[in-house]
Each structure stands twice: as C-alpha cells, then as structure tokens.
Amino acid sequence: MYTQFIFSNQVAIVTGAGQGIGLEIVKQLVAQGASVVLNDLDTHLTQEAVKLINHERCIGMPGNAADVDFVRIMVNRAVEVFGQLNIIIANAGITTFGDFFEYQPESLQKLLDLNLRGSFFLTQAGAIQMRKQASGGRVLLMSSVTGHQAHKYLAAYGMTKAALEMLAKSLVIELSPFKITINTVAPGATMTERTAEDPNYNDTWGKITPLGTPATVQDIAHAALFLVSPLAGHITGQSLVVDGGWTAVSPSPYAD
C-alpha cells in the first residue's frame, strides 16, 4: 500500500484527464500529495474536472495534446506555477475503429497526431525539464492490450499502441543517465463513461475476461500510480498489462 502522501512535493502533468482513466489518475495523485496540471482537449470537461477535484494543487489547462507548441507551454506552466516537473503521464489518445480495406488516410492521421506525435513531444518537453532539474523523473505512456494482441477493426489503433511501447523501450537508453524512468500501462476492457454507452459492454467483456469483469478506472489508475511512484524506481522500459487476464487467452468479443 502507498503511504498517505507518497507523492508529496511531486508535480505531474496528466493529459486526457477530463474524465475516465485520466481523471481518476489525477484524483489519486492529488489525494496522495502531488500537484497536477490537468489537461483535456474539451475546455468544459477540464473545468468540471478541476472543480470536482477542488484542490489548490490541481490546475486545468485545456488544449490539444497533439499540438507540440501547446505541450511545451504546458510544461512551462507547470514549472511556473509549481516550481518543477517530476511526472509526465501521456494519457490523451483516441480510438478509431475501421475495416482495414475501407480505412481512410484522415482517420490514420488523427491517430498518429495524438497517440504518437503528441505523446512523443510531451515526453521530450517533460524530459528536457527533468534533465535541467537533475533530480530524475517519471514518464508513463498509455498503451493498450491491442498493442499486444490483434483485435478486429483496430489495426491502426493497435499499431499506435505497440509503437508507444517501443518508444518507451527505446528511450531507456537516452533517459536513464538522467534517472528518468519511462514505462507504459496497457489497459484491457475498462468501464468508463465512453464504454458505458454500450449497454452490453460489461456483459460482453465480463464473459471473456478470466477474472469475470472489465477493469474499473481505479484498477488502471492504481497501476499507473505504481509506475510513477518511488516504489517503481528500478523499473523502466516495461509495459504493465491490466486486463483481468484477457491477453493470456484473448477470446474475441466478436466470436458470435
């Protein structure tokens, strides 16, 4: 178990945090002592999330996490307000479903811009600041089980998630000399506001998940916080799959 304030004096940026997994990660970070810059593309979601957390150690920065200039401004803002930056969690991402034979270039470009380009340059901007501080740091990228196992209609999305895991492995070489760790969390089926729109989601994934239920946002956030905590100081270049055992057996939800 975490000590009550394991993230005291730590400053984090979490993107895509207006709801779902990202918001839960911010909640837990703030509860355990961190100061957080909460980002989401949607201004209203950002404002409502900050209002919900209701703590002086959490500020909102709505904006596009795929925009390189914006992510650099966000890093500068974190340092300006809180004095330093210790944790980057690149949670912002989009999912696009599509038959490979019909998939369109504009859909792929949107995926690449946010899932890869945004995560890459947020990591770069954060790591530059951490290197300047000379006190180490933590970077966490958000992958997916679709980066490990094939999933119908998700070839493009799965490709971006596998790429993020390779990015984490590759950056071990460049970040380790500065005591910066970089890892990924790969969630499986997870109950969020978005997946709850499907009335069959819980039942469908519960039947094919060995532990009998999809993950909660709390399940994913616990894994994320572990990897950016002092408890994971000797873990880097790894991916932690949180899927209730699904990738061990990988039955398709489309089997019927």
Active site residues: 157
Rounded CA gap, 107 and 26, in Å?
29
Closest CA to 246 of 202, 207, 208: 208
Residues 162, 170: Cα–Cα separation, whole Å: 12
Please give the single-letter amino acid code of residue 127: A
Two structure tokens written together for 183: 């890892």
Tokens 């057996």 map to which residue?
Answer: 249
Q: How far apart are CA 25 and CA 222, in angstroms?
A: 8
> Cα angle vertex 115, ends 180, 138, to 5°?
15
Distance CA 142, CA 233 (A): 19
If 0-12 CB within 10 Å is exposed, 13-18 middle and 19+ buried, where does residue 183 land?
A: buried
Q: Specify the residue for token string 């803002």.
A: 77
Buried b (16+ CB within 10 A) or exposed e, 152-173: eebbbbbbbbbbbbebbeebee
Q: What angle do the packed helices 119-133 and 68-82 form, to 10 degrees?
A: 30
